[in-house]
Amino acid sequence: MRLLNIKCFFILAFATSFSLLSCNKDVEQYPDIDNIADTSSQAAIAATIASNANFSLYNEVIKKSEYADTLNNKNFELAMFVPGNAAVKTAVSILTAGAVPANAPDATVIGFIQSNNFPKELANSLVKYNTIYIDADLNSLPQTSINRAFPNMLNPAPNVSPFARLSLFLSKSPGLGYVNNVPVSGAKITTGNGSIYPVGAVVMPPRRLLIDRINTDPELTYFKAAIVRADSGLTQTQLMSPTQSATGLLGSFGPNLTVFVPTDAVMRATLTGLITLKLMAAGVPPMQAQADAAALASTPAVFSNPALRATLTPLNVKGLIYYHILGTTGFSNNFPTTETDFPTLISLQNPSAPQLKIKASFTGPMVSALTVKGFINTAAANVIVNPLPDPAGSSDQLYANGTLFKIDQVLLPQNF
């Protein structure tokens, strides 16, 4: 069997700058875990998992991670999100590109987990990412906020800061809880040092930053060029700053964002229409204006074309980009089933600025449709729903600084 290089799948590609700036609210604070008394005679988390037949495959992951002692330490108070055997088989099938099929016998999956093709580093990251520092009660979460961010045990940049942590995003809808975009699939299991929540899929840690997906996705070259135009004229120091540049914002660990990114096809069509109107306003005949506009907008170089500098200014383009970004990390299941206003990075600074109207439609526990409407748009844009893992997916794409959704319209806050 030819297996993927899974160690490469795990590697986190972080930008050289490190910022603790967060556009989201603060993550949930957790107690000093070294000072929690052992008052329970119940089995601890790892021991409880080991005794549950439905968790036998994930128990192999814990053993490979060599993190069981920490999970069994009753001086710690933790919550862990644990996939059942079927979910582990699905994840292994994805990680191996089908070389280990989802219907493989348990022994085959265990053999893979125990092999060198499943690195200890990956097992360790999975276990740490799915463990948070507080015994969180999903039932007590408010349904009024989009989600709540809890720090987990995975440090994505230990060479930069020993205190850096990724977050898990917990939310609750009527009768159902979620961790990131994965539904909780069973009742809470109480242990001697916290809680276990069964989940319907393996919750994978992010391995890149938002800017990495945007810079490498062949369908997002116009949005990439727009970022370059928005940041034109800035110094190298300013480009590294998440408070001064779009590049820094999307390329720094620290911010929590949700980015709705129009694909190249819709960016090209929108720019063609906008340029046509500008040329017609300048006296160019409609047919000629449309032809000229189509030529100008035919490549991402439209953003650096000298003929359009007065319209596609860095300020205008930056405003357009930031209108596509929420200042909190959200997943499709976090959005309401009635169209609701959500502030963008622009309206967070200027409350009178137009917001985005977002609506989710569910089929069972998962979102089947998600729409986003800008202030000027006559109809809502559709999220291209496909929650496959990065880089194949187009919705619920999780990165170290937020989530990304591809959409089929450009969101317009105003006329250009």
Asked whether residue 20 carries a pLDDT value surpassing 80, the answer given is no
User: For the whole model, what pTM was predicted?
Assistant: 0.88
Predicted pLDDT of residue 40: 63
pLDDT at 194 over 60: yes
Per DSSP, helices labelled H in 302-365 are 314-322, 345-349
Counting residues of the chain whose pLDDT is more than 90, the rounded percentage is 78
Instruction: Tell me the pLDDT tens digit for each residue of 288-320.
Output: 999 999 999 999 999 999 999 998 999 999 999
What pLDDT is recorded for position 18?
30
Q: What pLDDT, in 10s, does the model give residues 337-362? A: 999 999 999 998 898 999 999 999 99
CB 329 within 8 A of CB 256: yes
Neighbours of 171 (CB within 10 A): 22
Measured distance CA(98)–CA(114) in Å, rounded: 18
Distance CA 308, CA 153 (A): 48
Q: Residue 194: which region, alpha, beta or left (left: phi > 0; alpha: psi -120 to 50)?
A: left
Q: How far apart are CA 324 and CA 336, in angstroms?
A: 18
Q: Name the band, by pLDDT with cuts 50, 70 and 90, for residue 175.
A: confident
Mean pLDDT for the stretch of residues 394-412: 97
- Preceding amide of 391 cis, omega within 30: yes
CB-based contact 196:189 (threshold 8 Å): yes
Asked if residues 95 and 87 have their Cβ atoms less than 8 Å apart, the reply is: no
Cβ proximity of 272 and 308 under 8 Å: no
Instruction: Tell me: pLDDT of 264 over 80.
Output: yes
**Contact of 169 with 329, CB cutoff 8 Å:** yes
Q: Where residue 98 falls among pLDDT bands split at 50, 70, 90?
A: very high
pLDDT, residue 77, reads 94
**239, 16 contact by CB (below 8 A):** no
Taking each continuous run of H as one helix and of E as one strand, the counts in the chain are 15, 16
Between the alpha carbon of residue 386 and those of residues 83, 208, 397, the distances in Å are: 21, 19, 9
Which range, of 50-54, 79-83, 163-167, averages the lowest pLDDT?
A: 163-167
| Ranges of H-type helices in 42-156 | 45-50, 56-65, 68-71, 85-95, 106-114, 120-129
* Residue found under tokens 């005794």: 51
Higher pLDDT, 225 or 157: 225
User: Which residues on neighbouring strands pair with residue 197, listed in sequence order?
Assistant: 81
List, as one string, the DSSP characters of 191-234.
ETTEEEEEESS--PPP-S-HHHHHHH-TT-HHHHHHHHHHTTT-
Range of weakest confidence among 3-7, 274-278, 283-287: 3-7
Contact call for residues 71 and 63 (beta carbons, < 8 A): no
Overall residue count recorded for the chain in this entry: 416
- Rounded mean pLDDT of the chain? 89
Residue 275 CA, chain-centre distance (Å), reads 33
Tell me if residue 159 falls in helix, strand or coil. coil
Average the pLDDT over 265-283 and give the result.
Answer: 96
Asked if pLDDT for residue 145 goes beyond 80, the answer is: no
pLDDT for 38 equals 54
Read off the pLDDT of residues 201-241 as tens digits, 9 standing for 90 and up: 999 999 999 999 999 999 999 999 999 999 999 999 999 99
> Residue type at 74?
K
pLDDT at 39: 53
- H or E element at residue 95: helix 85-95
Residue 61, token pair as written in the block: 């992951």
Percent of the chain with pLDDT over 70: 89
Q: How far apart, in whole angstroms, are the C-alpha atoms of residue 261 and residue 35? A: 45
